[in-house]
Structure 1
Amino acid sequence: MTDRAIPQHLSVAVTYVGALLDYLGARGHDAKAFATRAGVDPGNDSGQIPARQYVRMLDDAAALTGDPNIGLHVGESVEPRHLGVQGYAVMSAATAAEALERAVRYQTLVDTINKVTVEPMGKDMALVWQPTDYHPGRAFSELDVTSWVVFSRWATGVQRIYTRAEFRHAAPTDLREHERILQCPIRFGAPREALVFNETILGLPMPRQDPMIQRMMDEYGQRLLIQAAASDDPLEQARAYVSRQLTKEVPRVEDVAQSLHMATRTLQRKLTERGMTYSALIEGVRHELAQRYLADPLIHITEIAFLLGYSEQSAFQRAFKRWSGESPGAFRSRVLVKSS
């Protein structure tokens, strides 16, 4: 796949690149020099790089090492730190079902090449990688699937979770490394990449479950998802702007449009296309922030009212009851009981 075929908006997390650099270092190569030549700062472990840059690095690493199974072997070396928020959120979940839900939720923080879903497959379930705009090819596909096989074993303590692995590409001549690492039947020439499992595993307890870490990762992950969405979607950008301004004042629609460098009519048209009014956008932002603040017992309800741009606590209480059918205090009590 040439660079031109890879859409510019697709990206890969720098932490995920770290697995490739660790793989090279473990085989005696100068990983730092390799990263520098590729235009990646090896000392920076945040943010994302263009997918075309990462795919080129993967190809260059295969040429450097002569490894025909580089995707398998880089995937085999993936650890929680390489997956960032996704890895730690999965690791700290209470059950395999919660872990799987977080794997799907935070996938775009690892890479935006594939959309990951959980789907029924006959009598079983499957974790499915569906390419968004282009198929990344054998090396990247094997890396993604293998990393989840290996990480799932480590996170659950169960050696064989998946009953079948599926790949879109044709079967290579030598399958010994695939069989050694994946340890399950493999189907090549499938419609998409997938890992098939029996739904009974969803009830497995996670040995490293930690409610505090999970809560921290969920809060941080949600912020990152909002930021990522805001970078592309004008309405998410509008929500982000409103969120920042609420402690000062409720911004006018003209102010929001100006912050987005668009005409007020253009913003209103975009809202209408989504079946939304500007007042509904404000209400939605306030409701979302209110739920987040109420989940923190250290923030007083009076302070929450101020943070949401209300001049009086009573106005906030009436609004929250209109949104959710219960008072802020009742919502807080219910959420804190669930998280305790």
Structure 2
Amino acid sequence: MNSPAPSTAGVLASAASGLIDFILQEGGDAERILGHSGIDPEQLNTPTLQLDLNQYCTVFEVAARQTGNDNFGLRFGQQFKPDSLGMLGYVGLCSANLGQALRNVVRMFPYHQQGSLLHLIEMGDYCRLDYQVQHGSVAHKRQDAELSLGMFNNLMRQALGPHWAPEQVLFEHAQPQAWHEHCKTFDAPVLFNQPRNALVFPRRLLDKPMPGRDPKLLTLMLEAMPKLSRPLDAQKSLLDDVKHLLRQRLGEDDISLEGIAEQLRLPAWTLQRRLADQGTSFSNLLDQIRRELATHYLQRADLAISELALQLGYSEISAFSRAFRRWFAISPQQWRQNQGSRQL
């Protein structure tokens, strides 16, 4: 088996804390599994080291196959404690209440893991914490999705108690054979083939205090993460911030240069000039994000092309089809059929 091709996105090695011991516990060969995934075991000894995101996601898929435990990621996430997550974990643990913890974790997440979305959506009486790996090079993500929601669930249980359960748990992958274990793990209804991976919970819980709140340590963590993690240079950080916001807001009616600039606390003309200095523009970045996500969503056979177009911010399927032909010289339906043929 060949090692997966490296991607341009990374994740801090703290996200794999305890992985070697857990593989051994599950009866696997840690050195062989890590080697097949292209990860040097020594890399896991430095929590602030960047691992390749594709290789990180792959190691859990390989571990699931080689240990014979199809729910490997689910079980790893279930036992993963927030303080093992390193700086991102302490950002949550040291916050004043659950709402601040989740908002701070969302804000710092791009420094912990690139090529991914983490978004807290407040909607009426409920909230939804969305998580999704969106980098185009990462094809297999089921194990990562299950372990990540388990990690976030454990963070919330720091404020809400060890037996707290969300209202619903959503996964974008198909229902696995041993799906009853998912319901037992989260003690909640679990739905599959959803647009995103998410935890759904009552909004009133955001006011629950975090038992380990520490404003001084929180300030240190919020200052340290941008310095120790990629992106390190300010111009690259701006591009990544714009891309991150575009991924979050795709599908909304008001996505615009002005709206993104407002979220970045910059005048629109300043954002426009800084993007031009980097040889790009707002429209080019939006087009790039849509192109990356289009192929990601098209790999999901359960997602209708009309729904996919809406998720990418196109009001009409014809507009999406024209853009897709411009990118790939074929229609979205033809691309999906070609991918299906390659997997046969």
Preserved CA contact (<8 Å) 2:92 2:104: yes
The structural deviation recorded for 1:235 is 6.7
Which amino acid letter does the alignment assign opposite residue 209 of structure 1? R
> Which moved further from structure 2: 61-70 or 157-166?
157-166
Give the whole-Å Cα distance in 1 for the aligned partners of 2:275 and 2:124.
Answer: 45
Q: Does 1:23 find its partner at 2:22?
A: yes
Q: Which residue of 2 aligns with 1:76?
A: 78
Which amino acid letter does the alignment assign opposite residue 39 of structure 1? I
Q: Which residue of 1 aligns with 2:208?
A: 204
Q: What are the Cα deviations for residues 303-330 of structure 1, in whole angstroms up to 9, with x where unaligned? A: xxxxxxxxxxxxxxxxxxxxxxxxxxxx
Of 220, 228, 231 in structure 2, the residue corresponding to residue 228 of structure 1 is 231
Preserved CA contact (<8 Å) 1:117 1:127: yes
Give the whole-Å Cα distance in 2 for the aligned partners of 1:77 and 1:171.
Answer: 22
Aligned to 1:115, the other structure's residue is in SS state strand
Which amino acid letter does the alignment assign opposite residue 215 of structure 2? P
The structural deviation recorded for 1:136 is 4.4
The structural deviation recorded for 1:68 is 0.4
Preserved CA contact (<8 Å) 1:96 1:201: yes
The structural deviation recorded for 1:29 is 4.8
Quick one: percent identity of the two aligned structures? Answer: 25
| Cα separation, partners in 2 of 1:273 and 1:62, compared to 1, 3 Å | closer
Give the whole-Å Cα distance in 2 for the aligned partners of 1:76 and 1:201.
Answer: 21
Q: Which residue of 2 aligns with 1:152?
A: 156
The structural deviation recorded for 1:32 is 6.0
Give the whole-Å Cα distance in 2 for the aligned partners of 1:112 and 1:268.
Answer: 19
Preserved CA contact (<8 Å) 1:85 1:221: yes
Which amino acid letter does the alignment assign opposite residue 188 of structure 1? F
Q: Does 1:92 find its partner at 2:94?
A: yes
Q: Which residue of 1 aligns with 2:48?
A: 46
| Cα separation, partners in 2 of 1:270 and 1:16, compared to 1, 3 Å | same
The structural deviation recorded for 1:142 is 1.0
Unpaired runs of 5+ residues, structure 1, are 238-265, 276-340
Q: Mapping of 1:96-107 within 5 angstroms?
A: 96-107=98-109
Q: Which has the larger radius of gyration?
A: 1
The structural deviation recorded for 1:274 is 7.5
TM-score after normalising by structure 2: 0.62
The structural deviation recorded for 1:222 is 3.6
Unpaired runs of 5+ residues, structure 2, are 241-272, 283-344
The structural deviation recorded for 1:269 is 5.2
The structural deviation recorded for 1:96 is 0.7
User: RMSD of the alignment, in Å?
Assistant: 3.3
Give the whole-Å Cα distance in 1 for the aligned partners of 2:275 and 2:64.
Answer: 50
Give the whole-Å Cα distance in 2 for the aligned partners of 1:66 and 1:143.
Answer: 17
Give the whole-Å Cα distance in 2 for the aligned partners of 1:210 and 1:87.
Answer: 13
Q: Which residue of 2 aligns with 1:188?
A: 192
Q: Does 1:109 find its partner at 2:103?
A: no
Of 118, 127, 130 in structure 2, the residue corresponding to residue 128 of structure 1 is 130
Preserved CA contact (<8 Å) 1:157 1:207: no
| Cα separation, partners in 2 of 1:272 and 1:181, compared to 1, 3 Å | closer
Q: Which residue of 1 aligns with 2:277?
A: 270
Give the whole-Å Cα distance in 1 for the aligned partners of 2:20 and 2:235.
Answer: 29
Give the whole-Å Cα distance in 2 for the aligned partners of 1:272 and 1:112.
Answer: 21
| Cα separation, partners in 2 of 1:7 and 1:165, compared to 1, 3 Å | farther
Q: Mapping of 1:252-291 within 5 angstroms?
A: 270=277
Q: Which residue of 2 aligns with 1:143?
A: 147
Give the whole-Å Cα distance in 2 for the aligned partners of 1:268 and 1:125.
Answer: 33
Give the whole-Å Cα distance in 1 for the aligned partners of 2:47 and 2:29.
Answer: 18
| Cα separation, partners in 2 of 1:168 and 1:273, compared to 1, 3 Å | closer
| Cα separation, partners in 2 of 1:232 and 1:145, compared to 1, 3 Å | farther
Aligned to 1:162, the other structure's residue is in SS state coil
TM-score after normalising by structure 1: 0.62
| Cα separation, partners in 2 of 1:271 and 1:202, compared to 1, 3 Å | same
Which amino acid letter does the alignment assign opposite residue 162 of structure 1? P
Aligned to 1:233, the other structure's residue is in SS state helix
Give the whole-Å Cα distance in 2 for the aligned partners of 1:176 and 1:114.
Answer: 27
| Cα separation, partners in 2 of 1:110 and 1:32, compared to 1, 3 Å | farther
Give the whole-Å Cα distance in 2 for the aligned partners of 1:161 and 1:194.
Answer: 13
Q: Which residue of 2 aligns with 1:171?
A: 175
